[in-house]
Structure 1
Amino acid sequence: MFFYSQQQISDINKANYQSLVNLVGKCMNGYQKLAELNMQTVRTIIDESNNFPTDEISEKSDNLPEWQSSMLTQFPEKAASYNRHFRSIMLSTGAEVMRETRRQYESRGNQVDAIFEEAIEKATAATARAVERLAANVVQPAQDSFDATVKVEERSSSEAFAQGTKAGDDVVAAIEAPVETHTKSANKR
């Protein structure tokens, strides 16, 4: 016995596919933001390295260590900024995926409840039909047989009572007949 009809299976498959598309879309949005962050970081690094004063290096050779020193002092701040943006993107993507998952869980929970309610209704209807069939096939013939037996017994009892009454009347008549004959003959003497 299947709990799902073909239409319900088709609807569930469509919903599963849509859930997958939604989740992949949320993940891809996160990856796109991460790719944009990485591109922005690479552009910033390229721009900063292009802004290095090449003319001054040829005039002053001690300028290179200063530039490296300034770049190295900015590195922890830039790395922390990148890390904050990276974490923000990952957390927002995770939150969106969790919201979508929760929404799908709630909608599937309602679908499962509806399927169980439908199964209970079908089982109740099947049980009612089985009880009706049982009543029609077993109980009603038994009741009819019982009623017929009761009628036969009532007829037999009434016939037996009538025969008993008649026999009793015959006995009384038989007893009274000799007494009357004896009384008549005694009166004649």
Structure 2
Amino acid sequence: MSAFTSDQFAALHKTNLANLAMMSKSTIDGFQKLTQLNLETARTALTEGQESLKAVLAGKDLRDVLAVQSSVAQPAAEKAITYARQVCEIATQAQAELARAVEEQYEQNHRNLQAFVDTFVKNAPAGSEAISALLQSTVDAAGNTYRSAQAISKQMTDVARNNLAAGASAAATRGASGKA
């Protein structure tokens, strides 16, 4: 039984480089979206801060200044919640793309490993049934472990997303009750 041929080795590297490029692109796209969100948020905060400062300076007495301050607090909290939600969406999208890439890579590697095991079992000398069975059992256990970890990861992502949504809802409800 021979090891990798040069063609197999080249194909493996080509696949790995393509996966690395795809994962790098996903990561950079996520950073780009996050940077764009941060710039837009900073620009908006600067503009609104200047408008608030003008309103405070235009106030005739303390009551006017306090009215401006109270009118700014609630929209600021709502904007912070919206910002956190947008960051979560960007992170979730990037995580989903990276998870998809990892899953594709794992599936390909698992198929390659299974083909290797099948070839090994087919060409194994007589008396090596125990080693063949152990090898196949190890491959099956690794696949099951990966699927379990993947399911747990998905559940954790869903819990985090639901907690963020619940927190945003609760904060919005508190803000609405504070206005009334």
Quick check: TM above 0.5? yes
Unaligned runs of 5+ in 2: 127-180
Cα drift, residue 54 of structure 1: 2.8
* Counterpart Cα distance in 1 of 2:113 and 2:101: 18
The residue number in structure 2 matching 1:60 is 60
The residue number in structure 1 matching 2:22 is 22
Length-normalised TM-score, structure 2? 0.58
The residue number in structure 1 matching 2:94 is 93
Does 2:83 align with 1:82? yes
Alignment of 1:148-159 (within 5 A): none
Query: What's the CA shift string for 1:99-129, capped at 9, x where partnerless?
Result: 11111111222233344445566x47x99xx
The residue number in structure 2 matching 1:73 is 74
Q: How many residues align?
A: 125
Query: What's the CA shift string for 1:11-43, capped at 9, x where partnerless?
Result: 112211211111111111111111111111111
Identical counterparts, % of pairs: 26
* Counterpart Cα distance in 1 of 2:83 and 2:2: 54
Length-normalised TM-score, structure 1? 0.56
Unaligned runs of 5+ in 1: 128-189
Alignment of 1:75-154 (within 5 A): 75-118=76-119, 123=123
* Counterpart Cα distance in 1 of 2:121 and 2:3: 10
2:27–2:94 CA contact under 8 A, matched in 1? yes
* Counterpart Cα distance in 2 of 1:67 and 1:88: 32
- Aligned AA for 1:107? Q
The residue number in structure 2 matching 1:42 is 42
The residue number in structure 2 matching 1:3 is 3
- Aligned AA for 1:37? L
Q: Which has the larger radius of gyration?
A: 1
* Counterpart Cα distance in 2 of 1:3 and 1:83: 51
* Counterpart Cα distance in 2 of 1:30 and 1:67: 37
Structural RMSD (CA): 2.7
